[in-house]
Structure 1
């Protein structure tokens, strides 16, 4: 059966996620979160919501998980990975973003313990506590100068809550 004939429930769909590498000098904005009963560290990241652009999702997730409002500057890359946490395939869009302002009173998403700034060496030292290998891969791609203009992303969605 080809894709056109497949029923919607039979079509495989990966989880689409977004993440932001937010740098301040040699430090990176990270979140400490509880995942499946253990502490894990990640960039501000999360799932793309229905009707939401990739850029909007990245800005929204960063605000919800850290209290930081950011401006996206570049797409760092698109990465595929099979999660060891849930076994599903993940397609992750990693963005470089600049911190604009912080609201320390803003409640953080459920499961997020805190936002913190760590150096690359401190992130690497977390080892198995990293939510995925994509965390360090995104920082390293950014450090290597990998930058793709945001104009490569297209959206025909009428709703874009976080331009």
Structure 2
């Protein structure tokens, strides 16, 4: 690791279930096409909840209403000195805008069953895809009241 100060990359992910299926994205990455929950990086000045709502919209063209925190995950990217700190939220998909262009790199947003997702482990963006889904299916939920933001303005 370099001599500069190490900081984890803060990310958010949306676990969105409807009628027993989960809204997932197929994305083009440096490692090829990968499967992920709608997810991305926290941007300067936004709250975790604003970030997950934004990322879900940008990657799926669906609005998203977070209902609970499923978990907080720390994971190193294999073969690098990058660490991700992921906050996974579950909630509801709202309106879909079919005219909205999806984020760069997103090939498709699709509804998959838990079995289809678990059977696609070789395509996961990271092992956190499966872990977040397993925690969600096990009923792991924490109140959004646990999250406090102290941002200026």
Pairwise same-fold verdict (TM > 0.5): yes
TM-score (ref. length: structure 1) = 0.88
Q: 1:147 to 1:86 in 2, by over 3 A?
A: same
Which residue of the other structure, out of 88, 93, 113, is the alignment partner of 2:87? Answer: 93
Q: Deviations over 1:31-78 (max 9, x none)?
A: 000001511000000000011101100000000000000100000000
Please state if 1:68 is matched with 2:62: yes
> Based on CA coordinates, which of the two structures has the bigger radius of gyration?
1
* Residues 1:13 and 2:7 aligned together: yes
Q: Distance between the aligned counterparts of 1:21 and 1:77, measured in 2? A: 11
5+ unaligned residues in a row in structure 2: which ranges?
A: none
Q: Does 1:154 align with 2:121?
A: no
- 1:122 is matched with 116
Alignment RMSD (CA, Å): 1.4
Q: Shift of the alpha carbon at 1:127?
A: 1.7
Aligned residues: 151
- 4+ runs deviating over 6 angstroms: none
Instruction: Please report the TM-score for the alignment, with normalisation by the length of structure 2.
Output: 0.94
